[in-house]
Structure 1
Amino acid sequence: MSEHLIVLNKDEDTISIVNLESNKVEKTLETSHNPHEVVVTKDGKKTYVACSLGNKVDIINNDTFEVVNRLEHPDFHFPHGVGITNDGKKLYLASTYSEKIFIIDTETDEIEKVIPTHQKYSHMISFSPDGSTVYIPNIGSNNITVMDVNKEEIVTHIPVGPGPEGVAVHPNRKHLYVANQEDNTLFVIDTETYEVIFKRRVGGIPVRLVFSPDGKYALIANRESGDVSIIETEQHINGQVRPWEIKRLPVGVWAGGIVFNDEGSFAYVANNKTNDVSIINMATLKEAGRIVVGIHPDGIAYLKR
């Protein structure tokens, strides 16, 4: 069993394959123009890379770490956010400037369905833990599109703060976390009522948000302030239980993509402007080191095979 990071270097059109045993780049491969976001299939066999300015999706064979196929479509206009359904059968892709969601068969790699959101700048893809719902932040409309995965239909749009980008559902399925980059806030939303139940101030321009596997922490990458907001999702204090920022951890310049390993013992943050990846020890909540990668690393994924 091996562990790797797949790190997208968007300003040199490459991917760094990092071996987590050595914390060094094992291989560098060329991609289509401007690789932004990445997802690994549930079986670990393939990786999908949204190359935003190239308007392509590159498909990587994880046995060889080679690009084996490329998807194109006339309505790929800055393809960006990607996510895989829980059964592993379908890839969801958000195309930012065409404001459409593409549903792709992961066995055939054919586009099955194209769904317009009718919102402005549909940017990311985030599935609920049970896989029944997908949440799509619309940066220009200041809302979140909610889709029913079984029906492959849009259910509603939830108003949030200005410029939402980082979005994820807590493993308990009760709370949707939304990072609003234009006013540096975190909204915690009830997934049943869509009511905003908490608002929190975070760092400058929060762009990515992920939960630890056990749900204890949410990590938010703050691009402008070069740090990570560490949110304890259920802080117990003075008879209250609340989500609270317990630490703002400095990392590299322009923190971006962020991912955990399977055990949740380490998190990894792609630092766009220092061309490296911060290693965060989740036991100490401190930066444990850096991994040097390519130019302008942003999207990042974890692979264990």
Structure 2
Amino acid sequence: MLEHLVGTIRYRRCAEVVMKRFAPLLLGMSLVLPCPAGFARGELLVGNKSDDTVWRLSLEDGRRLDEIPSGQGPHEIAVSPDRRLAVVTDYGHQQAGNSLTVLDMGDGKAPRSIDLGAHARPHGIRLLADGHALVTTEQSRSLLRVDLDAGAVVQAIEVGDGVGHMVALAADGATAYVSKIAAGTVARIDLATGRKTHEVPAGEGAEGIEVAPDGRVWVTNRAEDTVTVHDPDTLETMATLPSEGFPIRVVFTPDGRHALVTNAMAGSMSVFDATDPRLVATVALRPEGAESGQSMLGQGPMPIGVIADPVRPRIYVAISGADRIAVIDADDWRVLEFWATGRQPDALGILP
């Protein structure tokens, strides 16, 4: 009877999740449960840096649903909680970019651009509950607050020298944290006052940054192959972990149990226990048969962007040097498949 039940469900992966979660309840029952709403309709947004495009990929099988033009050099993507908007930072190529591309994910309206004026090289981005975006701009050494509806910069917070690259946001939306590559530091920003309250050393090449569900701030230090864990109030270093091969991004699984760090030069992803910081697994990310091109960081697979699916037990990694997305099972850390992308994928967003 269970085989018949599974056979009635349209999508194989959906069936796997339903069986895992509901098998004890289904034994002895004859009803057929439909796939959870939206499961098969989820999308992965991929920013292709060298093509100046964003691809919409089906989370069911990786097929391309659409290609949308962005500004030059799309480096990061943030999706609004209501899934209505996706916002892309247009970092630029040889010439510095100074814009955001706003994608309407609901009505299919044409993309619109927000001019950031003198604030060039926008990179890290987070969206606030009030409809504003926080954006790091390297050349103006600022953390911008941008009104997305008005299409205007409403505040520029000085973060200082050192190449403020990525930004993370505390759960309450009151505090932002900025990593600085050249300075090797992490800075704490009070958004209510618009002032930097703390800045401390993290490690050489501090780049990837994320706030864990328990509030601690994790930073990947690419030039010294470490990950540091910081107190959210004082930024005191609470732990230092090895992550070999140019650790460049960090995210957390939805349950908060694991921190996932991509290592660009090693072509791998480190999996850490997030509550008791320690390495628990390393995932190789080298697609067989895929040629590794030259990226901004060098030759090789170059896994960079990483995102955890909030609904499915899946992790998606942008393999920038191989023009692929790696799909990883979050239960056992197996690479399930690779999906094709445009040239040099990096930025990732998800519509679950």
Q: Assess same fold via TM > 0.5.
A: yes
CA-atom RMSD in angstroms: 1.5
Cα displacement string for residues 27-86 of structure 1 (whole angstroms, at most 9, x for unaligned residues):
11222111111101121111110110132211111025554310113323211110012x
Question: Which residue in the other structure is 1:114 paired with?
Answer: 156
Whichever residue aligns with residue 235 of structure 2, its letter is Y
Q: 1:271 to 1:67 in 2, by over 3 A?
A: farther
CA contact (8 A) 1:84 1:90 kept: yes
Stretches of structure 1 lacking an aligned partner (at least 5 in a row): 235-241
User: Which of the numbers 215, 222, 225 marks the counterpart of 2:266?
Assistant: 225
2:47 is the alignment partner of 1:8: yes
Distance (Å, rounded) in 2 between the aligned partners of 1:197 and 1:101: 26
Question: Which residue in the other structure is 2:310 paired with?
Answer: 262
Cα displacement string for residues 67-108 of structure 1 (whole angstroms, at most 9, x for unaligned residues):
4310113323211110012x2421000012221111012332
CA contact (8 A) 2:199 2:235 kept: no
Distance (Å, rounded) in 2 between the aligned partners of 1:191 and 1:35: 29
What are the equivalent positions in structure 2 for 1:230-269 lying under 5 Å apart? 230-234=271-275, 242-252=276-286, 253-263=301-311, 265-269=313-317
Cα displacement string for residues 132-182 of structure 1 (whole angstroms, at most 9, x for unaligned residues):
211010111111121112333221212211111111111011x21111011
Whichever residue aligns with residue 51 of structure 1, its letter is D
Question: Which residue in the other structure is 2:116 paired with?
Answer: 73
Whichever structure has more helix as a proportion of its residues is 2
Task: Please report the TM-score for the alignment, with normalisation by the length of structure 1.
Answer: 0.92
Question: Which residue in the other structure is 2:3 paired with?
Answer: none
Whichever residue aligns with residue 105 of structure 1, its letter is D
Question: Which residue in the other structure is 1:209 paired with?
Answer: 250
Whichever structure has more strand as a proportion of its residues is 1
Higher CA-based Rg: 2
Whichever residue aligns with residue 267 of structure 1, its letter is I
Question: Which residue in the other structure is 2:34 paired with?
Answer: none
Whichever residue aligns with residue 164 of structure 2, its letter is S
Q: Greater CA deviation, 223-232 or 126-135?
A: 126-135
Question: Which residue in the other structure is 1:191 paired with?
Answer: 232
Question: Which residue in the other structure is 1:63 paired with?
Answer: 106
Distance (Å, rounded) in 1 between the aligned partners of 2:146 and 2:185: 24
Give the match's secondary structure for 2:166: coil
Cα displacement string for residues 243-278 of structure 1 (whole angstroms, at most 9, x for unaligned residues):
111111011410011111113611100000110100
Give the match's secondary structure for 2:83: coil
Q: Which runs of 4+ in 1 moved over 3 A?
A: 64-67
CA contact (8 A) 2:98 2:119 kept: yes
Question: Which residue in the other structure is 1:239 paired with?
Answer: none
Task: Please report the TM-score for the alignment, with normalisation by the length of structure 2.
Answer: 0.81
Cα displacement string for residues 194-218 of structure 1 (whole angstroms, at most 9, x for unaligned residues):
2212111102111110011111000
How many corresponding residue pairs?
A: 295
Deviation at 1:284, TM superposition (A): 1.2
CA contact (8 A) 1:29 1:66 kept: no
Percent of aligned positions that are identical: 23
CA contact (8 A) 1:59 1:67 kept: no
Distance (Å, rounded) in 1 between the aligned partners of 2:89 and 2:233: 31
Question: Which residue in the other structure is 2:9 paired with?
Answer: none
CA contact (8 A) 2:126 2:133 kept: yes
Whichever residue aligns with residue 351 of structure 2, its letter is L
